[in-house]
C-alpha cells in the first residue's frame, strides 16, 4: 500500500468510527432516528451522542497533532503533552478556577484558565529543557511538571470548600467524553481549532529542525518565533481539550509512532496524519469504554493510560541506548 | 554554469564569549570563484567565524557585508538563499529518507520555486554527491561517510552563491575526502564561493585558492597556500616543524610533511 493511500484510508476509518460512536451506547438507536418523532431517541442523539462523537473527533485530532508537533520540535520521540505534564498543568489551571470560585463567572473562564495553565507548562518545559534536550532531561522535566501540577490539584482538593468543588476537581483527573453537550463543544472547538492553525503554521520550522537547531537557523528559520507559536498553539489545544474532557494522555505519544512507518518521519508531514489517527484512536477508545461490561462507564483517560503506559514503557526500553 | 560574482566583506569583526575574546579585529574580503580554507589550532575561532558569516551568531562589533548589504539587515530566509551552511557536527533527528533530507535544503525557497524546480535542484545535488542510489533509504541506515555526503547534498540543494562548511571532511575515508574536496573545488570553479574550515594541511594546500590562518581569534596569515602555510607560521601557530615537499615541475600535488613538535623557545 503506497503512502498516498494512508490519508484516505484513515479518513474512512474515522468516518466509520464516528458513525459507530453515534450508534453505540446503553440505548440502541434505530437507523431511522433522524426522521423519527420519538423525542427521547432524538434527545439522546442530538444532546448526547452527537456532541460526544464530535468532541472525541476534535480532541483526538488535536491531541494527535500536538503530540506530533512536540516530538518534532523537541526532536524526541517520547515528547507528548500528557507525559511531559502539559496536560496536568492545564488541569491545574482549570482546577484553580473552580477552587477560587471564578469558573462560574463566565463559561469561558475555566477553559481560558486551562489554556493559561498549558501555556505555562509549555514555557516551563522550554526553559527547563530547551529545544536541544536529551531524553533524560526531557523526561525529568516532565516528571517535575506533572508532580507540581498534581500536587497543586491535590492541595486544591483537600482545601476545597465544598463537596461540589471537590467532585468537580476529581473529574479533571479522569478524562472522559461522557455527558458532554454542545455547550462544552462550542467552548472547546474555537480554542482547539485556532491552536491547530498555529501548530500547522509551524510545519516548515519543524521540518528544518530535523537538521538540529543550527541547521534550522542556517536555513533561515526563526526559531524563537516557532517556539512561541508552538507554545501558543499547543497551549490552546491542550488547555481547550483538557478543560472539557479532563486529562486524556498518551494519544500524542502513540499516534505519531504508528504514523511514521506509514507516511515517513518528516515532522511537518506527520501533523495531519497524526491528527486523523488521533481522532480514530480517541473515538475507538470511547466506543470501547461504552462496550465494556460493568455498572458504570470506565473513564476514557483511564483506558488511554492503560494502553499508553505500556506503550511508553516499550518505547523507553527501545531507546535505552540513547539514554546512556 | 557561471553566475554573477559575489563579495563577502568582513570588517573589524569582534566576537566575545563571556569575557573571552573569540574573534578579534578580523578583516577579510572574500570572492566567489574561490575556495577559502580557514585553518588554525583548536579554539582559534574558526567555527565561530563561520557561524558569524552564516548569520547564526551576531558579532558584538564589526560588519559583515554581502555585496554591500549588511548581512544582519537581510531577512533570514533571503540570507539562507545566498549562504548555505554545513555545521561541524550535523544532527539528523529523524529517520527520514535521503531524498527528503536533501530536500530540506530547499526550505528557504518555499513559495519562490515550483515543486518541479525543487525536485530538479534536489536531483542535481544528489547526482553531484553520488547519493542518488540511496534516494529512498532512511538516512539512519547509512554509514557515517555516506551520511556526510548526503548532508553535503543537502547544502548543495540550495544552489546558493556561498557554501560554508565547518570541517566537511571529518569522518570521510581518504577516497571520499578527495571526492568531497574535488566537489567543493568544482563548485568554486563554476563561480560559487566556498569557505571551509579544515585541519588537514595538505588537503588545504591542495584545494584552496586562499588560506586564512587564525590563532587566538586573530588572522595571522592570509594568502595563497604556499604564502600562508610557511614553515615559520606553522611553527608559530601549531608548534610543529613542517616542510613543503614539491617537485619543481608542479605535476605532483604538494605535500606538507610534519617532522615533529617544534622545540619551544
Q: Could you tell me which residues come within 8 angstroms of residue B132 by beta carbon, excluding any fewer than 6 positions away?
A: B123, B126
Task: Return the minimum-mean-pLDDT range out of A24-33, A280-289, B161-170.
Answer: A24-33
Cα B212 from chain centroid?
Answer: 12
Q: For residue B261, what pLDDT is reported?
A: 84
* % chain B with pLDDT above 90: 70
Cα A226 to Cα A79: distance, rounded to the nearest angstrom = 17
Chain A contact set for B91 (CB, 8 A): 75, 211-212, 215
Which superfamily, per CATH, for B7-89+161-261? Answer: P-loop containing nucleotide triphosphate hydrolases (3.40.50.300)
| A6, HSE (Cβ side, Cα atoms, 13 Å) | 18
- Identify the residue with better confidence: B262 or B86: B86
What structural domains does chain A harbor? 3-23+37-323 (1.10.3470.10)
Chain B interface, best mutation among A79, A135, A220, by max B CB count within 10 A: A220
Q: For residue A324, what pLDDT is reported?
A: 46
Q: Could you tell me which residues come within 8 angstroms of residue B11 by beta carbon, excluding any fewer than 6 positions away?
A: B27, B62, B63, B64, B65
pLDDT digits (tens, 9 = 90+) for A107-126: 889 899 999 999 999 998 88
Q: How far does the CA of residue A209 sit from the closest CA of chain B (Å)? A: 8
3-state secondary structure B78-105: HHHHHEEEECCCCCCCCCCEHHHHHHHH
Q: Which of A234, A246, A258 has the alpha carbon at shortest distance from A63?
A: A234
Q: For residue B252, what pLDDT is reported?
A: 66
Across the range B33-38, mean pLDDT stands at 96
Nearest Cβ partner of B108 from A215, A219, A264? A219
pLDDT digits (tens, 9 = 90+) for B161-188: 999 999 998 878 888 888 889 989 989 9
Mean pLDDT of chain B: 90
- A190 and chain B: CB distance < 8 Å anywhere? no
pLDDT digits (tens, 9 = 90+) for B66-87: 999 999 999 999 999 999 999 9
Chain B contact set for A220 (CB, 8 A): 75-81, 107-108
Chain A contact set for B77 (CB, 8 A): 220
The domain segmentation of chain B, as residue ranges, is 7-89+161-261
Q: Output the furthest CA–CA distance in chain A (Å, rounded).
A: 65
The values of phi and psi at residue B130, to 5°, are 55, 50
Nearest Cβ partner of B94 from A214, A218, A267? A267
Tell me the residues of chain A between 265 and 284 that have a Cβ less than 8 Å away from chain B: 265-267
Q: What is the ipTM of this complex?
A: 0.89
Nearest Cβ partner of A208 from B79, B104, B138? B104
Cα A198 to Cα A69: distance, rounded to the nearest angstrom = 11
Mean pLDDT of chain A: 87
* Chain B residue closest in CA terms to A265: B96
Q: How far does the CA of residue A98 sit from the closest CA of chain B (Å)? A: 41
Q: For residue B74, what pLDDT is reported?
A: 93
Q: For residue A131, what pLDDT is reported?
A: 57
Neighbours of A324 (CB within 10 A): 5
Neighbours of A62 (CB within 10 A): 32
pLDDT digits (tens, 9 = 90+) for A305-319: 888 888 888 887 887
DSSP state of B138: B
Cβ of A220 within 8 Å of Cβ of B75? The answer is yes
Chain A interface, best mutation among B51, B96, B105, by max A CB count within 10 A: B96
Query: Per the structure block, which three cell numbers stand in for A114?
Result: 486551562
Neighbours of A133 (CB within 10 A): 19
Cα A242 to Cα A182: distance, rounded to the nearest angstrom = 16
pLDDT of residue A148 exceeding 60, the answer is yes
Cβ of A219 within 8 Å of Cβ of B104? The answer is yes
pLDDT digits (tens, 9 = 90+) for B107-126: 999 989 899 999 999 999 99
DSSP state letters, A76-87: -TT--TTTTTHH
Chain A contact set for B150 (CB, 8 A): none
Q: Could you tell me which residues come within 8 angstroms of residue A278 by beta carbon, excluding any fewer than 6 positions away?
A: A60, A61, A62, A63, A64, A65, A67, A251, A252, A255
What angle is formed at CA A129 by the lines to CA B59 and CA A235, rounded to 5 degrees? Answer: 105
- Identify the residue with better confidence: A180 or A231: A231
Task: For strands B61-66 and B69-70, give the pairing.
Answer: antiparallel
Chain A contact set for B78 (CB, 8 A): 220
Q: How far does the CA of residue A179 sit from the closest CA of chain B (Å)? A: 41
DSSP state of B2: -
What's this model's pTM, rounded to 2 decimal places?
0.90
Amino acid at each position: 500500500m503506497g503512502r498516498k493511500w494512508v490519508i484516505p484510508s484513515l479518513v474512512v476509518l474515522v468516518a466509520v468510527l464516528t458513525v459507530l460512536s453515534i450508534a453505540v451506547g446503553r440505548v440502541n438507536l434505530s437507523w431511522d432516528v433522524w426522521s423519527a418523532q420519538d423525542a427521547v431517541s432524538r434527545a439522546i442523539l442530538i444532546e448526547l451522542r452527537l456532541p460526544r462523537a464530535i468532541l472525541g473527533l476534535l480532541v483526538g485530532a488535536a491531541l494527535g497533532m500536538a503530540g506530533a508537533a512536540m516530538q518534532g520540535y523537541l526532536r524526541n520521540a517520547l515528547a507528548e503533552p500528557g507525559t511531559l505534564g502539559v496536560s496536568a498543568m492545564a488541569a491545574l489551571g482549570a482546577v484553580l478556577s473552580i477552587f477560587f470560585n471564578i469558573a462560574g463567572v463566565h463559561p469561558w473562564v475555566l477553559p481560558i484558565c486551562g489554556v493559561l495553565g498549558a501555556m505555562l507548562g509549555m514555557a516551563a518545559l522550554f526553559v527547563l529543557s530547551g529545544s536541544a534536550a536529551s531524553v533524560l532531561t526531557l523526561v525529568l522535566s516532565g516528571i517535575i511538571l506533572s508532580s507540581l501540577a498534581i500536587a497543586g490539584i491535590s492541595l486544591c482538593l483537600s482545601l476545597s470548600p465544598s463537596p461540589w468543588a471537590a467532585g468537580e476537581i476529581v473529574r479533571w483527573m479522569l478524562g472522559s467524553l461522557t455527558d458532554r453537550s454542545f455547550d462544552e463543544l462550542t467552548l472547546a472547538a474555537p480554542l482547539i481549532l485556532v491552536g491547530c492553525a498555529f501548530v500547522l503554521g509551524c510545519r516548515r520550522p519543524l521540518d528544518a529542525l530535523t537538521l538540529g537547531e543550527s541547521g534550522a537557523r542556517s536555513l533561515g528559520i526563526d526559531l524563537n518565533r516557532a517556539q512561541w507559536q508552538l507554545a501558543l498553539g499547543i497551549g490552546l489545544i491542550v488547555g481547550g481539550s483538557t478543560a472539557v474532557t479532563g486529562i486524556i494522555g498518551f494519544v500524542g505519544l502513540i499516534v505519531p509512532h504508528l504514523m511514521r512507518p506509514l507516511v515517513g518521519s518528516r515532522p511537518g508531514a506527520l501533523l495531519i496524519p497524526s491528527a486523523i489517527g488521533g481522532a480514530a484512536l480517541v473515538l475507538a477508545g470511547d466506543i470501547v469504554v461504552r462496550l465494556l461490561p460493568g455498572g458504570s462507564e470506565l473513564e476514557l483517560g483511564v483506558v488511554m493510560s492503560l494502553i499508553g503506559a505500556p506503550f511508553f514503557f516499550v518505547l523507553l526500553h527501545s531507546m535505552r541506548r540513547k539514554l546512556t | 554554469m557561471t553566475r554573477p560574482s559575489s563579495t563577502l566583506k568582513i570588517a573589524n569583526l569582534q566576537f566575545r564569549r563571556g569575557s573571552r575574546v573569540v574573534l578579534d579585529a578580523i578583516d577579510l574580503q572574500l570572492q566567489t570563484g574561490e575556495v577559502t580554507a580557514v585553518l588554525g589550532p583548536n579554539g582559534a575561532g574558526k567555527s565561530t567565524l563561520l557561524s558569524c558569516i552564516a548569520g547564526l551568531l551576531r558579532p558584538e562589533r564589526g560588519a559583515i557585508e554581502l555585496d554591500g548589504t549588511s548581512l544582519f539587515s537581510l531577512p533570514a530566509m533571503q540570507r539562507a538563499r545566498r549562504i548555505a551552511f554545513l555545521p561541524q557536527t550535523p544532527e539528523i533527528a529523524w529517520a527520514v529518507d535521503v531524498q527528503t533530507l536533501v530536500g530540506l535544503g530547499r526550505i528557504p525557497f518555499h513559495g519562490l520555486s515550483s515543486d518541479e524546480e525543487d525536485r530538479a535542484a534536489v536531483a542535481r545535488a544528489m547526482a553531484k554527491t553520488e547519493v542518488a542510489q540511496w534516494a529512498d533509504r532512511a538516512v539512519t541506515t547509512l554509514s557515517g561517510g555516506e551520511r556526510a555526503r548526503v548532508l553535503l547534498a543537502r547544502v548543495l540543494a540550495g544552489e546558493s552563491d556561498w557554501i560554508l562548511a565547518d570541517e566537511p571532511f571529518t569522518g570521510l575515508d581518504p577516497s571520499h575526502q578527495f571526492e568531497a574536496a574535488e566537489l567543493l573545488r568544482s563548485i568554486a570553479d563554476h563561480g560559487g564561493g566556498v569557505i571551509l574550515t579544515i585541519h588537514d594541511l595538505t588537503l588545504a594546500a591542495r584545494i584552496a585558492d586562499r588560506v586564512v590562518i587564525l590563532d587566538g581569534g586573530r588572522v595571522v596569515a592570509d594568502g595563497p597556500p604556499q604564502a600562508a602555510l610557511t614553515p615559520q607560521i606553522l611553527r608559530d601557530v601549531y608548534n610543529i616543524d613542517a616542510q613543503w615537499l614539491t617537485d619543481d615541475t608542479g605535476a605532483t600535488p604538494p605535500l606538507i610533511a610534519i617532522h615533529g613538535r617544534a622545540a619551544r623557545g
